[in-house]
């Protein structure tokens, strides 16, 4: 089954089976800047800073994932986050470099002197593959505590954060604690704080769904291992930012200065 991937071509990227324009180059050979971080760490703030510097932001991880991984495997569009995680895990079974490996197969046609940025890589396998296979690529790593990421997901209203919502009992604390991997990711105090978000007007089912997203990402990617590897790179190749400790304006300032 051949699927139409015109959206990537229209955005200035070409897949391996497409014929790119004259002068297009593989991303693997270009000085690409990559944002690294899981959902809710503050990549949108960093992207705003990158856009202000004149860099061209490429189609993001969602779009590339749809074109290279999700639709070829599923034969259709997939919006549920857990189903998407399962499909991308299947892709990584034959492509251990994950998104980094997928990006290396794409071509772009940058204007003279134009620098490109991509959002974003996740997990140790992707960042290690990217750093070792593509010497010209640089990395901006963003991180934040998992409980804060849940709160940010609740506040941003992104339709992409859709997840099949289960019925929630009257005891949200118990429901959260019973989630797979919850005890390994959140402390009992953090789970209590998440349950208490009901008092701020958040629906229990929504709190549970956003917590599942964070846990699913932690099960598929290891942010701590990715950061530990990136910290071994020279400072000219990697900028590390704690978005819980830094105001958005300071994140933007540091990104612009590093570039």
CA neighbor of 58 nearest in space, from 142, 104, 115: 115
CA neighbor of 65 nearest in space, from 39, 32, 30: 39
pLDDT, tens digit (0-9, with 9 covering 90-100), for 164-210: 545 455 688 899 999 988 999 999 999 999 999 998 889 999 999 99
Answer yes or no: are the C-beta atoms of 16 and 122 closer than 8 Å: no
pLDDT, tens digit (0-9, with 9 covering 90-100), for 233-246: 999 999 999 999 99
| Pairwise CA distance, residues 222 & 92, whole Å | 14
Answer yes or no: are the C-beta atoms of 15 and 66 closer than 8 Å: no
The verdict on whether omega for the bond into residue 250 sits within 30 degrees of 0, i.e. cis, is no
Percent of the chain with pLDDT over 70: 90
pLDDT, tens digit (0-9, with 9 covering 90-100), for 88-132: 889 989 999 999 999 999 999 988 878 899 988 988 999 999 999
**Domains plus CATH for the chain?**
31-258 (3.40.50.300)
pTM: 0.81
């Amino acid at each position: 089954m051949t699927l139409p991937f015109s959206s990537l071509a229209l955005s200035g990227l070409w897949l391996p089976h497409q014929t790119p324009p004259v002068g297009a180059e593989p991303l693997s050979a270009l000085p690409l800047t990559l944002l690294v971080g899981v959902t809710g760490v503050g990549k949108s703030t960093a992207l705003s800073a990158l856009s202000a510097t004149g860099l061209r932001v490429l189609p993001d991880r969602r779009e590339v994932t749809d074109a290279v991984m999700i639709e070829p495997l599923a034969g259709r569009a997939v919006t549920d986050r857990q189903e998407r995680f399962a499909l991308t895990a299947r892709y990584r079974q034959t492509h251990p470099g994950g998104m980094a490996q997928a990006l290396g197969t794409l071509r772009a046609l940058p204007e003279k002197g134009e620098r490109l940025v991509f959002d974003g890589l996740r997990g140790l396998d992707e960042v290690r593959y990217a750093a070792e296979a593509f010497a010209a690529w640089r990395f901006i790593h963003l991180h934040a505590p998992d409980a804060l990421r849940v709160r940010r997901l609740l506040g941003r209203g992104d339709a992409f954060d859709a997840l099949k919502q289960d019925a929630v009992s009257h005891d949200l604390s118990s429901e959260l604690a019973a989630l797979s991997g919850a005890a390994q990711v959140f402390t009992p105090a953090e789970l209590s704080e998440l349950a208490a978000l009901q008092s701020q007007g958040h629906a229990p089912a929504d709190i549970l769904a956003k917590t599942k997203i964070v846990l699913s990402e932690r099960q598929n990617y290891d942010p701590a291992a990715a950061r530990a590897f990136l910290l071994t790179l020279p400072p000219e190749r990697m900028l590390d930012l704690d978005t819980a400790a830094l105001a958005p304006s300071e994140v933007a300032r540091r990104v612009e200065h590093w570039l």
